[in-house]
Structure 1
Amino acid sequence: MIRKARAVWRGTGRDGDGDISTDSGVLDETPYSYKTRFENEKGTNPEELIAAAHSACFTMALAFQLQTAGYTPSELSTQAAVSLEPDGAGFKITRSALTLVADVPGLDQATFDKLAEAAEKTCPVSRVLNAEITLEKTLK
C-alpha cells in the first residue's frame, strides 16, 4: 500500500506560502505557511498533520487490539500533541504526547493498560517517529 500527498511552495521560507493536497482529496490545496506553522494563521502545518496521523493510527491500532481480545469499545478518543523545538540551525519534532480516553464495557484497568501500551508500540506512525512518545490513558 502506498499513500501519496503533494506540497507546493511559492516564495521564501518566512514570506512564502504553499498548499498541501492528498490523493484522496481530503486535503485539496490546503494552505500552509510560516504563519500557520509558527503563529496562529488559519491553515495547516506538518506537525498538525503528524499529530492527526498519530492519533488516528494509534486509536485504530487500539481498536484492533481490543477486538482481538474480545472487547468492543463504545468510544476511543485520542489527542496527539506534537512538539517542535529548536535543534541547532533548524527544528526537530521531539515528542508526541498521546492522551486517550476510552469507554470499553467490561474492560478492566490492567487489560486496558496492556492493550493500550501494545497499540502504542505497534502503531505504524509510532514506529516511524524519531521522537519521545508518551501515553496518558483513562478508562471510563
Structure 2
Amino acid sequence: MEKHATAVWKGSLKEGGGTLNSQSGALSNLGYTFATRFEGGKGTNPEELIGAAHAGCYAMFLSALMSGEGIVPESIEATSTIALDPTTEGGPTVKTAHLVVKVKAPTDEGKIRELADKAKAGCPISKLLNATVTMELAVL
C-alpha cells in the first residue's frame, strides 16, 4: 500500500509560500509559509501534519491491539507534539515526538498501559520517525 501527498513551493523561503495536496483530497491546496512554520502564523506546517499522522496512526494501532485482546475502547484520544529545533547544526531537525494519550476502556489500567507501550513502539509512524518518541497516558 502506498499513499502520497504533494507539496508545491513558490518563491523565497521567507516571502514565498506553498500548498499541500493529498492523494485522498483531504488536503487540497492547504497553504503553508515560513511564518506558519517558524513564527506561529495562522495555517499549517509540516510538523503539525506529522503530529496529526502520528496521533492518528497511534490511536488506530492501540485500538487494533486492544481489539486483539477482546477489549473495545470507548475512546482513545492521542495528541502527538513534534519538536523542531531550528538551531541544529546543518539545518532544522525534528528532535522528539511526544504522545499524550487518554484511554477510556472496560479493562484494568495495567493492561491498557501494557498495550499503550506496545502501540508506541509498534505504530508505523513511530517507527518512521527518527526521533525520540515519548508518551504520557491517562486511563479514564
State the TM bucket, normalised to the shorter chain: over 0.9
Local SS of the residue matching 1:82: strand
Who is 1:95 aligned against? 96
Who is 2:105 aligned against? 104
| One-letter code aligned to 2:62 | L
Who is 2:113 aligned against? 113
Who is 1:133 aligned against? 133
Gaps of 5+ in 2: none
Shift of 1:109: 1.5
**Distance in 1 separating the partners of 2:43 and 2:29:** 10
**Distance in 2 separating the partners of 1:23 and 1:113:** 35
Shift of 1:89: 3.5
Local SS of the residue matching 2:36: helix
Q: Pairwise mapping of residues 11-90 of structure 1 onto structure 2 (< 5 A)? A: 11-85=11-85, 86-90=87-91
Q: How many residues align?
A: 139
With normalisation by structure 1, the TM-score equals 0.97
Local SS of the residue matching 1:90: coil
Local SS of the residue matching 2:3: coil
Q: Deviations over 1:66-123 (max 9, x none)?
A: 0001100111001111000021041100001000011001x11111111000011110
Shift of 1:40: 2.3
Which 4+ stretches in 1 moved above 6 angstroms? none
Q: Deviations over 1:27-46 (max 9, x none)?
A: 00100010110122222111
Shift of 1:137: 0.4
Shift of 1:14: 1.1
Local SS of the residue matching 1:72: coil
**Distance in 2 separating the partners of 1:23 and 1:42:** 24
**Distance in 2 separating the partners of 1:40 and 1:135:** 24
CA RMSD of aligned residues (A): 0.8
Who is 2:124 aligned against? 124
| One-letter code aligned to 1:92 | T
**Distance in 1 separating the partners of 2:130 and 2:90:** 18
Local SS of the residue matching 2:92: strand
